Amino acid sequence: MGMKLLLENWQRYIENVTGEVDKKDYIEKVEKVELEMIEELLKTSETFQIAWEEMENSLEGTSHHFGETTAIHTRNVLKELDKIIENLDEKIDETRRRKLRLAAALHDIAKPPTRDVDKSGRTRFFGHPKQGTEIAIRVLEEIGETDTEIIVKIVEMHMDILFKAQQLRKGLIKKEQRAVNRFLNRIGDGVEDLYLVAQANVNAILNPEGAQLVPGRDWEKFKADMEEHQKYQSKWMEKVRAQIRSKP
């Protein structure tokens, strides 16, 4: 289906919901319509359509995801993100919420093309955050999104906070202040949004829907290990926030 037809179909949908449609305020209306993020992207982005079909057929194949497809994991991340947002003390406005949901929907979009199985049988996705930013930019352009910097940055850095937590847990960060500063220089003001998506990512691993148990894998042991990882993810964020507070 061509991009023009996709947009025309989406505009007709908006017209049915809102009663009128104007090309000039198309983006604004898209933001206001309460639809599932995946459904919206499928209707408005040809690039996402192609990527999503691949995601639905691409098995994660790692112990962290217990046999999920990338699409199932992405749906779970979106669900967990909404739960986190609803339980926050602070109010998340609809504009920020939309950016978070877009980032969650796009964070693993490049897993299928980067999927590789090594000699031991382990499935890896080297470079998927970087390649994902390129695909995400195309998707965001197709849906008419304009303020996209933090969305793209979260896609690019969604693994960084997981790696930092792992390094902290293993005692591999020797110069913490320098590591924190480098991290902050890369993410900038979007650090809390990155953390929200990272939390949802881990929560989706701990609460997978429809995921297959890996034969011989001790789920309770795995769950305990991931919960310990969450603690170190939180500790990393404490260090990041302390550094932010210390700045004049």
Tell me the per-residue pLDDT of 62-92, one tens digit each, with 9 for 90 and over.
666 666 889 988 988 888 898 899 888 888 9
Domain presence at residue 97: yes
Contact between 92 and 193 (Cβ < 8 Å) = no
Which residues face 117 on adjacent strands? 123
Question: How far is C-alpha 209 from the geometric centre of its chain's CA atoms?
Answer: 17
Which DSSP string do the residues of 182-244 spell out, in sequence order? HHHHHHGGGHHHHHHHHHHHHHHHHS-SSPPPPTT--HHHHHHHHHHHHHHHHHHHHHHHHHH
Any domain includes 17: no
Structural domain tally of the chain? 1
pLDDT digits (tens, 9 = 90+) for 12-65: 444 444 444 444 443 344 333 335 789 899 999 999 999 999 999 888 766 666
For 70-111, where are the E strands, in sequence order? none
**Inter-residue contact 153 to 188 (CB < 8 Å):** yes
Q: Which domain holds residue 98?
A: 35-246
Residue 11 within any structural domain of the chain: no
Q: Is residue 5 part of a domain?
A: no
At 83 the pLDDT is 86
| Measured CA distances, 117 to 55, 60, 68, 122 (Å) | 16, 10, 16, 5
Strand boundaries in the chain, DSSP class E: 116-117, 123-124
Distances from the Cα of 91 to the Cα of 69, 86, 95, 183, 218, angstroms:
32, 9, 12, 26, 38
Task: Read off the pLDDT of residues 96-143 as tens digits, 9 standing for 90 and up.
Answer: 999 999 999 999 999 999 888 888 777 778 889 899 999 999 999 999
User: What is the token pair recorded at 181?
Assistant: 């500063």
Per the CB < 8 A criterion, the answer to whether 86 and 79 are in contact is: no
User: What is the pTM for the complete model shown?
Assistant: 0.81
pLDDT tens readout for residues 152-199: 999 999 999 999 999 999 999 989 999 999 999 999 999 999 999 999
Q: Which helix (H) or strand (E) holds 4?
A: helix 3-18
Cα distance between residue 198 and residue 44, in whole Å = 26
In a domain, 132, yes or no: yes
The reply to whether 194 falls in a domain is yes
85: in domain:
yes
The pLDDT of residue 118 is 83
| pLDDT attached to residue 239 | 95
Tell me, yes or no, whether 186 lies in a domain.
yes
Mean pLDDT of the chain, nearest integer: 82
Give the Cα-Cα-Cα angle 201, 206, 212 (nearest 5 degrees). Answer: 105
